[in-house]
Structure formats: structure tokens, C-alpha cells
């Protein structure tokens, strides 16, 4: 039985949208399950009026990661499009003039460093300031709702790739995350989540019966998203994470690595059997080492519920031990002492692990304690521990 998206249920909540000027936050992932219509068309077919569109990172059409997106026009459409990943990341007061309600419909990846979450929360803040109701049309968390793992980010380390004391893999849909953020910030916001049907927290994306909906250019398949959980940490260093190749976040390498040594080292670590891996040379067409041969390893999840974070950290430690002078971690712009790895991971324990000061076992123990605390804090906000069938209204 296929999961029914929040988008498919808007006509059940006619009073929310009828006669309203709608600001729609969306991109190429805001589609129906049959791919035949985008969410703008769904609104129009229902007789609702979208007057302004807001887009996140990657814009409407799929720009590269981290690329600023200028305001663009939807092809064949006269609706103004406002970029929230260029000169600004939050709707300005003038952007919301004439808007009666803000609606969010974008496919998430379920990981703290994925920026669509922050596009939503920043827009929630703008809506609260303007006194405008906010509606989330919920979509699945590709990685499911049962596994919560990875360090909770410290409140002192906050950016557009990590905030709100979230674990790395937070196990919430964006509808649930909106409820968490509203509570976390004590936000006075009229918030409605139109939930999915035929969906529970136990379901990974392949269980939904839905065609894969690409969240962004470097997550072309579910397997890439599994490996993005942890694999994103390689963005903090001079090892290619496979962007610009056919296997982003499934291949890792650099021109200076010896893939035979790395393969042998990883075999000797006796890693969990949830992933197959092999030696792999590849040539990225863009990103790090564009048009250069990178030598490294390719990974493949054998279990849809596999957690790639321990594997990614093990592999990074192997590289760090083998190439202590050649592995370079980039600094944050705001200070030379702030390493981007700390920002992505959430604290400095990962650096201590790479330095050999603590073990991977100790890292995992720290996750377990922090993740239990997070799970307890969101328990009353979960919508899919049993099948969600009704829109959830959170009020002011």
C-alpha cells in the first residue's frame, strides 16, 4: 500500500487554502507520486492561488551544492520566485507582503547538515514575525524514524548546516521537525502539519511504495542517501566525497591515496558486514579534483537500515593514520581555530578520535546517551509512531 503524501491531501483542508494568497516554499522535489504534476499544478487544480514561490539550496532546477542561487523564473510561469539560498536565507518582510499563508513542500534527507531543514525553520521564524500561518505538507524521512544516531550538535556551534541540538540522523519527518523547532524556540506560530497516510516511523523510503524523489543532485538514489549519513564529514577535508562522479557519497578518494593500502587496512579493521566495499579509482567531472584521477574505495549498503557513520569514521581514521601530513581539514571562515569537521559533526570529539585520544567505541557511547535524551524530548511530537491519518494543528 503506497504512502499518501501531505500534498495529496490538501483538498481535505480546503478552509486553510481557499481564497488565500499562498507563498509556496518548494523546488524540483515538490512533485506528486506519479511524477506527472508538480505541487503548483496540484494547488491550481484544487482552485488555490499560489502568488509567490520560495526556493532553497539548489534552487528550482538543481544547482550545485553550496552555489548561491539568484532569483529565477519558473519556466512558462509568471509567478515570482524568491531564492532563499543567495543574498538571503530567510524571507524578508517585503517578500511576505500580500501573502496570507506560507506552505512548505520539499523532500528532505533526514540528516542534520542537509540545508532544507533550515530553509523551513528560517521561514517559520519569518512567518511568526509576520503573523502568517505556516503549513508543512509532510513527506517521508528517507532514513526512517526509528534510528537516531550521531552526536547532538552543541548549541554554541550553529550554522546553516547544523543547529537546534539535533543529532546527525534525527529520525523525524520535516513535519515532526517543525513541531520540534516550534517548541525548541518557543515560537508563537500558527503551525499545521498535513500528515501522510499509510506511513509509520518504521518505514525506510523503499518501504513507502513511492518512486525515489531526488532531494538534490548528489543524492540520485536511496543508496547515496544511506552513505550520506556520515559520508558528509568528508566535505570537511581534502578527500573527494564522490561529488561530480556517478556515485556521490559512495566513493571516496584523492590523487595521493593508495587504494590497495586503504583496502587492506579496512579489511583488517573487520568492519560490519552491512556494507560491501572495493578499491575504486574515479575521475570527478566537478568538485574536488575535477578531471583528476582519485584513488580510494567505493561502498555499497547491503541493508537499507545500515548506518554508514561508523564506517565513514573508521575509513577517515585509516586515511588520517596513513597520511597525517597530506590529509587537510578546512577552517571555518569566522576563525582559524574552528575546523569545519567540528561544525559538521557537532563537537570536537571526532577530532580527538582521529588523533587517537578516544576510541570509536567511546564515540558511539556518547551518541547513545545524547540520542536517548533527544528521543525523549521529541516523544510527544512524533506523528508516525502509529499511522498518521489526520492533519496536526499546533496552534499559536
Mean pLDDT of 32-37: 89
Mean pLDDT of 222-242: 97
State residue 161 phi and psi, 5-degree precision. -120, 20
Q: How many angstroms separate the CA atoms of 361 and 341, rounded?
A: 19
pLDDT digits (tens, 9 = 90+) for 174-219: 999 999 999 999 999 999 999 999 999 999 999 999 999 999 989 9
The pLDDT value recorded for residue 40 is 80
Q: How many angstroms separate the CA atoms of 24 and 43, rounded?
A: 10
pLDDT exceeds cutoff 90 at 93? yes
Q: How many angstroms separate the CA atoms of 140 and 313, rounded?
A: 27
pLDDT digits (tens, 9 = 90+) for 98-126: 999 999 999 999 999 999 999 999 999 99
Please give the torsion angle defined by the CA atoms of residues 252, 258, 260 and 263, in that order, rounded to the nearest 10 degrees. Answer: -40
Half-sphere exposure of 206 (CA within 13 A, CB side): 8
**Mean of per-residue pLDDT scores for the chain:** 92
pLDDT digits (tens, 9 = 90+) for 120-137: 999 999 999 999 999 999
The pLDDT value recorded for residue 103 is 98
Question: Structural domains in the chain?
Answer: 6-211+375-395 (3.40.50.12170), 222-365 (3.90.1150.140)
**pTM of the entire structure?**
0.93
Half-sphere exposure of 252 (CA within 13 A, CB side): 30
> How large a percentage of the chain has pLDDT more than 90?
83
pLDDT digits (tens, 9 = 90+) for 66-80: 555 566 555 456 788
Kindly report which listed range (7-21, 150-164, 249-263, 322-336) carries the lowest average pLDDT score.
322-336
Task: State how beta strands 275-282 and 335-339 pair.
Answer: unpaired
Cell 506560530 identifies what position? 189
Q: How many angstroms separate the CA atoms of 295 and 281, rounded?
A: 4
In sequence order, what E strands does 150-231 have?
191-194
Instruction: Indicate the helix (H) or strand (E) that contains 52.
Output: strand 49-55
Question: What is the crossing angle of helices 309-322 and 360-378, to 10°?
Answer: 150
Q: Label residue 396 by pLDDT band (50, 70, 90).
A: low
The answer to whether 7 and 36 have CB atoms below 8 angstroms apart is no
Please give the torsion angle defined by the CA atoms of residues 18, 24, 29 and 35, in that order, rounded to the nearest 10 degrees. Answer: 30
Nearest to 41 by CA among 80, 81, 2, 77: 77
Q: How many angstroms separate the CA atoms of 137 and 117, rounded?
A: 13
pLDDT exceeds cutoff 90 at 229? yes
Nearest to 252 by CA among 198, 209, 294: 294
Mean pLDDT of 159-166: 94
Question: What is the crossing angle of helices 360-378 and 174-184, to 10°?
Answer: 80
CB atoms within 10 A of CB 232: 24
pLDDT digits (tens, 9 = 90+) for 245-293: 999 999 999 999 999 999 999 999 988 789 999 999 999 999 999 999 9
The answer to whether 38 and 24 have CB atoms below 8 angstroms apart is no
Q: How many angstroms separate the CA atoms of 385 and 377, rounded?
A: 15
Please give the torsion angle defined by the CA atoms of residues 209, 211, 216 and 220, in that order, rounded to the nearest 10 degrees. Answer: 110
Amino acid at each position: 500500500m503506497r504512502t499518501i503524501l501531505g500534498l495529496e491531501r490538501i483538498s481535505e483542508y480546503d478552509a486553510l487554502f481557499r481564497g488565500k494568497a499562498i507563498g509556496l516554499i518548494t523546488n524540483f522535489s515538490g512533485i506528486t507520486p506519479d511524477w506527472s504534476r508538480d505541487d503548483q499544478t496540484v494547488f491550481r487544480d484544487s482552485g488555490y492561488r499560489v502568488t509567490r514561490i520560495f526556493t532553497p539550496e539548489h534552487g528550482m532546477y538543481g544547482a550545485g551544492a553550496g552555489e548561491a542561487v539568484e532569483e529565477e523564473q519558473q519556466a512558462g510561469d509568471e509567478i515570482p520566485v524568491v531564492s532563499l539560498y543567495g543574498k538571503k536565507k530567510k524571507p524578508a518582510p517585503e517578500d511576505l507582503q500580500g501573502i496570507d499563508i506560507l506552505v512548505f513542500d520539499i523532500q528532505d534527507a533526514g540528516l542534520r547538515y542537509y540545508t532544507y531543514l533550515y530553509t523551513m525553520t528560517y521561514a517559520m521564524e519569518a512567518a511568526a514575525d509576520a503573523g502568517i500561518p505556516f503549513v508543512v505538507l509532510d513527506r517521508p524521512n528517507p532514513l526512517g524514524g526509528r534510528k537516531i544516531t550521531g552526536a547532538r550538535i552543541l548549541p554554541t556551534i550553529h550554522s546553516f548546516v547544523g543547529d537546534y541540538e539535533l543529532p546527525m540522523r534525527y529520525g523525524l519527518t520535516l513535519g515532526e521537525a517543525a513541531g520540534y523547532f516550534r517548541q525548541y524556540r518557543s515560537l508563537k506560530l500558527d503551525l499545521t502539519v498535513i500528515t501522510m497516510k499509510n506511513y509509520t516511523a518504521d518505514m525506510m523510503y523503499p518501504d513507502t511504495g513511492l518512486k525515489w524523489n531526488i532531494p538534490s543532485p548528489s543524492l540520485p538514489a536511496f543508496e547515496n542517501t544511506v552513505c550520506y549519513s556520515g559520508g558528509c564529514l568528508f566535505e570537511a577535508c581534502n578527500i573527494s566525497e564522490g561529488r561530480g562522479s556517478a556515485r556521490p557519497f559512495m566513493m571516496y578518494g584523492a590523487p595521493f591515496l593508495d587504494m590497495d593500502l586503504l583496502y587492506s587496512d579496512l579489511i583488517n579493521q573487520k568492519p560490519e558486514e552491512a556494507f560491501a566495499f572495493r578499491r575504486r579509482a574515479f575521475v570527478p567531472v566537478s568538485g574536488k579534483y575535477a578531471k583528476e584521477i582519485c584513488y580510494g574505495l567505493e561502498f555499497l549498503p547491503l541493508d537499507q537500515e545500515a548506518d554508514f557513520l561508523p564506517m565513514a569514521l573508521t575509513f577517515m581514521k585509516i586515511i588520517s593514520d596513513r597520511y597525517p601530513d597530506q590529509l587537510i581539514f578546512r577552517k571555518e571562515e569566522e576563525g582559524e581555530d574552528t575546523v569545519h569537521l567540528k561544525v559538521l559533526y557537532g563537537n570536537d570529539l571526532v577530532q580527538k578520535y582521529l588523533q587517537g585520544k578516544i576510541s570509536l567505541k567511546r564515540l558511539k557511547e556518547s551518541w547513545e546517551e545524547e540520542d536517548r535524551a533527544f528521543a525523549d524530548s521529541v516523544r510527544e511530537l512524533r506523528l508516525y509512531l502509529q499511522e498518521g491519518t489526520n492533519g496536526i494543528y499546533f496552534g499559536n
